[in-house]
Amino acid sequence: MTYTGVLQILITLAAMIIAAVPLSKYLAHVFKCETTFLDGIVNPAESLTLKFLKVNGNEETYWIKYLKTGIIVNFFMLAIVYLILRFQNFLPFNQMHYPGIPWALDFNTAISFITNTNWQNYSGEEALSNFSQMSLVFLQFTSAATGLVFAVAFIRGLVRREAKYVGNFYADYIKAIYRLFLPLAIIFAVIMLWQGAPQTFIMQKKVTNMTGVKQTLSMGPVASMISIENLGTNGGGFYGANAAQPYENPNPFTDALTVFMMGTIPIALFLMYGIMIGNKKHAWTLFAVAMTLLVICLAVVYSQEAHGNPFLAKLGANVSASKNNPGGNMEGKQEHIGIAQTSLFAVSTTAFTTGNVDSAHDSFMPLSGMVLMAEMMLNLIFGGKGVGLLNMLAMVIIAVFIAGLMVGRTPEFLGKKIEAKEVKLATLAMFAHAFIILIPFAIAIAIPAGLAGILNPGPHGLSEILYAYTSAVANNGSAFAGLNGDTLFYNISLGLAIFFGRYIPIICQVAIAGSLIKKKSIPESAGTFPAHGFLFYTVVMGTILLVGALTFFPALALGPVAEHFAMVKGHLFYFNLK
């Protein structure tokens, strides 16, 4: 580790936090239907869209209708994009005459993009037309908006007293797209275009490089996809290599900018929550919990990657990164990006559940890989659009319940009683996430169809499968890149894991909002457990770590932990090439 690397990381994190503060205030104004500086531009567009949909944006609904409308809208767009990908050979902007993609891969891809996961068992530049790529960009807007507005509905459930309605899904949905994602996506697409990302309808261009060798360059509307894939914590890139491809990530500045795009909105949502509930201290405490976990993960990954493989050090190789030695574990990384920024990118893309990668996670040190998986297993270190906040609040309900049991009184949270119904729903959301990861993982390592996809032997091969299902269920979409996921088994099983991992927790969380919104306000008393401060921070942090360790550590022990201790002892796993 170097001082320059640490400073580089701190500057990027500071930029995200500084930008998140005014953005959180703006978002609070948007979803509280207060005046904003974009009203003159956006109001007419919103009115026309609602009129076209024949929806009264001022008419609020019960939580069940809000949830049902959101899921139906998602399914409708899922069907449309499935047909586009399946029959892209009959559609425009397909100069390379790519055929429709196979049904199982199409199933996986359509579900993946509608759920903000963007798992890619294909290379976009070799399989999809520009029309298909743009249809996926459309889903990157709508899937991000879906998660965000469900979080807003949850917040209203906490804020409102003895009420019935959590809002209007269509009105919130359109606000999220028109007032947040679309303006920012345009700004950052222009910046990426300025930095060298292509934005054209030409799919391929033949050129002669400086050495006289002829090359074929894959191109398309790349810049517009880069902006929303990161702003929406989608992660699915135009190219199969994502941000490791220079057209998606031309230089160190764009690499840092990509991290900034990933993290600013999720952080802002935590702070927006505090403004909307009128308790900023509570929100900053939850921010401190998430930021502490993020910094711990960064410290582990950066130190592991900077020190490199100890087995190579025993052989005499100077692998430890220092001021005068760029060493460290550079396998799968780009030299012009470096270990510090690569570590920040990897930790950010899994913490904010984006899935975009600028390096091969398969090549990271074992404990680094464990940390990347742990972030997605917890799925609340800021997380994706709205979903990270929802998961954190579900964990807070469990923590408050445990604290209530300790002092022998009915748990309270923000002036409302937390009763059996809310605790059961929060627990179901938490365990559904774990079960949907671990059960398919267990099946995959027990049957030939699952084992056939492993490209590495030993515990690392097990980690490849565990990472895949963790990434799918956390709606992340990144991969260890050592697993062949484009098989019938993995396309279907990962697609189903993505689907259930997305919607079961959301259904439970919106149901909690529907239960809380009906409750009366309870005045604070001497026995009320404070929802801010160091004690609250400690209880929430302890609950997260305890639940996470009990749920996932056995699986991690079989994979990255076992690989780490084997590596330290000098035992390597390799293929027998005979």
Whether residue 459 contacts residue 558, with contact meaning beta carbons closer than 8 Å, is answered with yes
List the domain boundaries for the chain: 23-278
Least confident of 29-43, 46-60, 67-81, 401-415: 401-415
In angstroms, the CA 348 to CA 353 distance is 8
Q: Hey, what amino acid is at 520?
A: K
**pLDDT tens-digit readout, 265-300:** 999 999 999 999 999 999 999 999 999 999 999 999
Q: Hey, what amino acid is at 548?
A: G
Q: What angle do CA 15, 21, 23 make, to 5 degrees?
A: 100
- 397 vs 406, more confident: 397
In angstroms, the CA 320 to CA 421 distance is 53
Q: What is the DSSP string of 219-236?
A: -SBHHHHHHHHHHTT---
The predicted pLDDT at position 358 comes to: 92
Residue 445 Ramachandran class (φ > 0 left, ψ -120 to 50 alpha, else beta):
alpha
43-50 long-range Cβ contacts below 8 angstroms, 24+ apart:
45/178, 46/171, 46/174, 46/175, 46/178, 49/174, 49/178, 50/170, 50/171, 50/174
Q: What is the DSSP string of 382-432?
A: S-STTHHHHHHHHHHHHHHHHHHHHHTS--EETTEE--HHHHHHHHHHHHH
Whether residue 132 contacts residue 121, with contact meaning beta carbons closer than 8 Å, is answered with no
In angstroms, the CA 476 to CA 383 distance is 9
**pLDDT tens-digit readout, 455-465:** 887 899 999 99
Per the structure block, which two tokens stand in for 253?
A: 């500045």
Sequence length of the chain is 578
pLDDT surpassing 70 at residue 574: no
Q: Hey, what amino acid is at 111?
A: I
Per the structure block, which two tokens stand in for 165?
A: 């309605």
Q: What is the mean pLDDT of the chain?
A: 91
**pLDDT tens-digit readout, 470-513:** 999 999 999 887 888 899 999 999 999 999 999 999 999 999 99
Torsion of CA 233, 136, 167, 429, to 10 degrees: -60
pLDDT surpassing 70 at residue 576: no
Contacts of 361 (CB under 8 A, 6+ apart): 332, 346, 369, 372, 467, 478, 479, 480, 481
Give the count of alpha carbons within 13 A of 203, CB side only: 18
Percentage of residues in the chain having pLDDT higher than 70: 96
Question: How many Å separate Cα 32 from the centre of its chain?
Answer: 25
Q: Kindly state the average pLDDT of the residues 173-185.
A: 96
Contacts of 549 (CB under 8 A, 6+ apart): none
pLDDT surpassing 90 at residue 546: yes
pLDDT surpassing 80 at residue 316: no
Q: What is the DSSP string of 170-202?
A: HHHHHHHIIIIIHHHHHHHHHHHHHHT--B-S-
Map residue 461 onto helix, strand or coil.
helix
pLDDT surpassing 70 at residue 327: no
The predicted pLDDT at position 577 comes to: 42
